[in-house]
Amino acid sequence: MEGRSFEILEHPADIGFRAFGGTLAELFANAALALLSIADEPGGVEGRQEYPLEAGGSDYESLLVAWLSEVLYWFDGKRVGFREFRVISLEPTRIEAIGRGEPGHGAKLIVKAVTWHQLRVAATPHGWVAEVYLDI
C-alpha cells in the first residue's frame, strides 16, 4: 500500500476520510481508526479490554457504514476508545471483529453519524480504498 492507513478529506461543512488497506479486513480496520482519529481525544488508548463488534449490510459500502456506526455507537454511547481492531470474518453482508481498547474515553469532536454521501469502497491495483464522510 502507499504507506499510510488513512488521510482526512475536506468538506464545506463536515469532514471525511480516505482509508487504505492491502486487504478488505485491513481497510475496515483502518477506516475505524480514521473515524476515531477524528472523534477521540488525544493521548492514546490502552488496549486493556476486548470488545466483540459486529455489523451487517447488503454490500461492502453498506457494510462499511454499518461497521463504522457500530464503532461510533461504542464510542459515543459507551465511551469506549479503541486502539486496534482485529477482523475475524468479513463477507459482503457481515463483519465480525474484536476491538481492543478501554472505557472512559471522551470525545475531541462529536461525530454525529457516518453518512452514505459519496461513499466508496473500491479495489485498486495497489489495494483497497474507501471514502467516507461524517456528520459533525
Partner 1 sequence: MPHEIAIERVDAWRHRIRRDERRGMRTDVMVYAGESLLAHIRRNLSLEQAMNVATLPGITGPSLAMPDIHQGYGFPIGGVAATEVEHGVVSPGGVGFDINCGVRLVRSTLGAQDARPRMRELITQIFRDVPCGTGSEGFVKIRAPQLDQVLVKGARWMVENGYGEARDAEFAEAGGALEGACPEHVSERAKERGLPQLGTLGSGNHFLEVQYVEEIHDREAAVVYGLEEGQVVVLIHSGSRGLGHQVCTDYVAIMNRKMADYQIKLPDRQLACGPIRSEEGQAYLGAMCAAANFAWANRQAILHFLRGAFRRIFGEGARLDLVYDVCHNIAKRERYEVEGRKREVLVHRKGATRAFPAGHREIPAAYRTVGQPVFIPGSMGTASWVLVGQPGAMQETFGSVCHGAGRLMSRTAVKKGRDARLETRKLEEAGILVKSESRDGILEELPDAYKNVDEVIEVVHHAGLARKVARLRPMGVIKG
> For residue 21, what are the β-bridge partners?
128
Residues 6+ apart with CB under 8 A from 32: 67, 68, 71, 82, 85, 99
Total of residues contacting partner 1 (CB under 8 A): 36
Min dist. Cβ of residue 2 to partner 1 (A): 21
Min dist. Cβ of residue 110 to partner 1 (A): 5
Min dist. Cβ of residue 22 to partner 1 (A): 26
Classify residue 69 by burial, with Cβ atoms within 10 Å: 0-12, 13-18, 19+: middle
Residues that bind partner 1 (CB under 8 A): 8, 10-15, 41, 57-58, 61-62, 65-66, 69, 73, 76-79, 106-110, 112-119, 133, 135-136
